[in-house]
């Protein structure tokens, strides 16, 4: 995953004493932290799928974080504001898959995204958030899941987005309130309530500025327990979100993150085979990542394994009741390229009986399992710029036996400031 924007305030190729960099450092000193993130995906499927095509999709996320303690002497207060702009086409329809080949695919056009206030209390033991955000901004997120080009784990497992209409990722937000408690440095619990307005949110004119509450709106409740151990960490080590220079001491340990969560939604969803709305939607997930090796001399060199599973038992409305995913991230595989990463991942989706029966009834055959393998390599060109060649192999796209296995080739470029 690219470093968070607060790690690198300097603009690449410009000396820190240059006017623009000096301005950005001055803003940061006063509690104003602008950020810009850009991803562009070029992908093609020369073999297999429904048809052959080549497409480009891009996503721009920009905004600002305000440290209210520095700006107005409000201890523990923060304010986050962001918007997105996206465009292009994706290969999903050409391949015939529910695992979107490009993870940057989101709302088309421009939209207001995050707009929320955060209050930290009791030395960060308690964290309160209120405002507008997506469910996926706070839940079912592992840092390693932001690395692949594939949309199967688009920051969040894509099955959650299919199975609960109120679970959203980047670009779609609603009113919410979230409470997070960290009784220790390693243990956390959080619960959030989010407004669900799917009918308005899925319109082509959606731009994120409809702040209304209307009759028929619903809610989705999400809860998650987290554990973030640091095995074999030496005394005095501090876990840093920003990369450290070579030889950083003391040893920070083998870092891990494990999450167990679930959701409940009262907003109705249309069943796959019936016409009456289906209420009381729920599901669960468990996922984690664990660093299994790390160089003591050069701590940027490490190997992390990760994986997870989602389960949504209501086959009447869940497209993908069961999804399993995982892989390996190897940082610093080659000499002198310690910030590069090699990714080897898989994504397995099992489709519901009712979803399959709807295709059988239409004479299009059954839908069972879909499996995707992905191999990717991140070249960290500068501290803010990445180039990422990518290969994806889709086995039984969309769970259909009559769609040929597909090869998707391409690359992603990313700029995170």
Domain boundaries, the chain: 5-235+248-416
Name the average pLDDT for the chain.
90
Give pLDDT tens digits for 206-226.
Answer: 788 889 888 889 999 999 999
5-235+248-416 CATH, one of 3.30.420.40, 2.40.160.180, 2.60.120.200, 2.60.40.10: 2.40.160.180
User: What pLDDT shows up at residue 125?
Assistant: 97
CA distance 15 to 27: 17
User: What pLDDT shows up at residue 219?
Assistant: 96
**Residues facing 284 on adjacent strands:** 262, 311
User: What pLDDT shows up at residue 7?
Assistant: 60
User: H or E segment at 132?
Assistant: strand 126-133
The model's confidence at residue 2, banded by pLDDT at 50, 70 and 90, is: very low
Give pLDDT tens digits for 109-134.
Answer: 899 999 999 999 999 999 999 999 99
User: What pLDDT shows up at residue 258?
Assistant: 98
User: What pLDDT shows up at residue 1?
Assistant: 41
Sheet strands (E) in 197-340: 218-227, 230-231, 254-265, 281-294, 302-311, 322-331
User: What pLDDT shows up at residue 112?
Assistant: 94
With left for phi above 0 and alpha for psi between -120 and 50, is residue 49 left, alpha or beta? left
Q: Which of 75, 153, 72 is nearest to 324 (CA)?
A: 153
* pLDDT of residue 347 exceeding 90: yes
Sheet strands (E) in 299-405: 302-311, 322-331, 341-350, 369-380, 385-395
The model's confidence at residue 273, banded by pLDDT at 50, 70 and 90, is: confident
- Cβ atoms of residues 57 and 87 within 8 Å: yes
Sheet strands (E) in 158-217: 174-181, 187-196
Q: Is 212 exposed, middle or buried (0-12, 13-18, 19+ CB in 10 A)?
A: exposed
Range name among 77-81, 82-86, 167-171, 287-291 with the lowest pLDDT average:
167-171
Report the percentage of the chain scoring pLDDT > 90: 68
The model's confidence at residue 300, banded by pLDDT at 50, 70 and 90, is: confident
Structure token pair of residue 336: 């002198």
User: What pLDDT shows up at residue 215?
Assistant: 87
Give pLDDT tens digits for 28-54.
Answer: 788 999 999 999 999 999 999 999 999
* pLDDT of residue 342 exceeding 70: yes
Q: Which of 346, 325, 332, 344 is nearest to 298 (CA)?
A: 332
User: What pLDDT shows up at residue 39?
Assistant: 96
Give pLDDT tens digits for 163-211.
Answer: 999 999 888 899 999 999 999 999 999 999 999 987 766 665 578 888 9
Give pLDDT tens digits for 130-167.
Answer: 999 999 999 999 999 999 999 999 889 999 999 999 99
* pLDDT of residue 248 exceeding 60: no
Alpha-carbon Rg for the chain, nearest whole angstrom, is: 22
The model's confidence at residue 242, banded by pLDDT at 50, 70 and 90, is: low
Structure token pair of residue 368: 């069972």
Structure token pair of residue 180: 């997070």
């Amino acid at each position: 995953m690219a470093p968070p924007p607060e790690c690198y305030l300097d603009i690449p190729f410009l000396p820190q004493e240059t006017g623009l960099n000096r301005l950005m450092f001055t803003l940061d000193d006063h509690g104003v932290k602008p950020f810009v993130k850009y991803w562009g995906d070029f992908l093609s499927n020369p073999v297999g799928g429904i048809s052959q095509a080549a497409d480009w999709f891009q996503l721009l996320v920009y905004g600002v974080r305000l440290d209210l303690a520095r700006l107005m002497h409000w201890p523990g207060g923060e304010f986050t504001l962001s918007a997105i702009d996206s465009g292009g086409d994706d290969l999903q329809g050409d391949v015939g898959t529910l695992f979107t080949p490009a993870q940057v695919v989101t709302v088309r056009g421009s939209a207001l995204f995050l707009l929320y206030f955060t209050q930290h209390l009791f030395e960060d033991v308690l964290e309160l958030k209120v405002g507008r955000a997506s469910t996926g901004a706070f839940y079912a997120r592992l840092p390693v899941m932001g690395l692949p080009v594939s949309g199967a784990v688009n920051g969040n497992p894509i099955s959650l987005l299919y199975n609960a209409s109120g679970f959203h990722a980047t670009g779609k937000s609603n009113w919410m309130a979230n409470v997070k408690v960290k009784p220790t440095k390693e243990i956390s619990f959080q619960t959030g309530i989010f407004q669900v307005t799917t009918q308005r949110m899925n319109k082509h004119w959606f731009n994120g500025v409809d702040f209304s509450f209307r009759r028929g709106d619903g809610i989705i409740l999400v809860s998650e327990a987290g554990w973030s151990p640091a095995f074999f960490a030496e005394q005095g080590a501090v876990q840093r979100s920003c990369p450290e220079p070579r030889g950083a001491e003391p040893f920070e340990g083998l870092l891990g993150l494990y999450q167990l969560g679930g959701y409940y939604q009262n907003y109705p969803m249309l069943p796959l085979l019936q016409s009456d709305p289906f209420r009381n939607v729920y599901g669960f997930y468990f996922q984690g990542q664990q660093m299994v090796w790390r160089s003591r001399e050069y701590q940027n060199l490490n190997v992390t394994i990760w994986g997870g599973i989602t389960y949504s038992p209501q086959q009447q409305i869940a497209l993908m009741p069961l999804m399993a995913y995982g892989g390996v991230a190897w940082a610093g595989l080659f000499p002198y390229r310690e910030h590069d990463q090699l990714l080897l991942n898989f994504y397995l989706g099992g489709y519901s009986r009712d979803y399959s029966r709807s295709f059988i009834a239409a004479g299009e055959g059954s839908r069972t399992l879909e499996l995707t393998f992905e191999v990717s390599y991140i070249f960290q060109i500068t501290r803010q710029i990445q180039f990422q060649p990518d290969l994806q192999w889709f086995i039984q796209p969309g769970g259909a036996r009559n769609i040929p296995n597909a090869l998707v080739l391409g690359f992603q470029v990313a700029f995170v400031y």
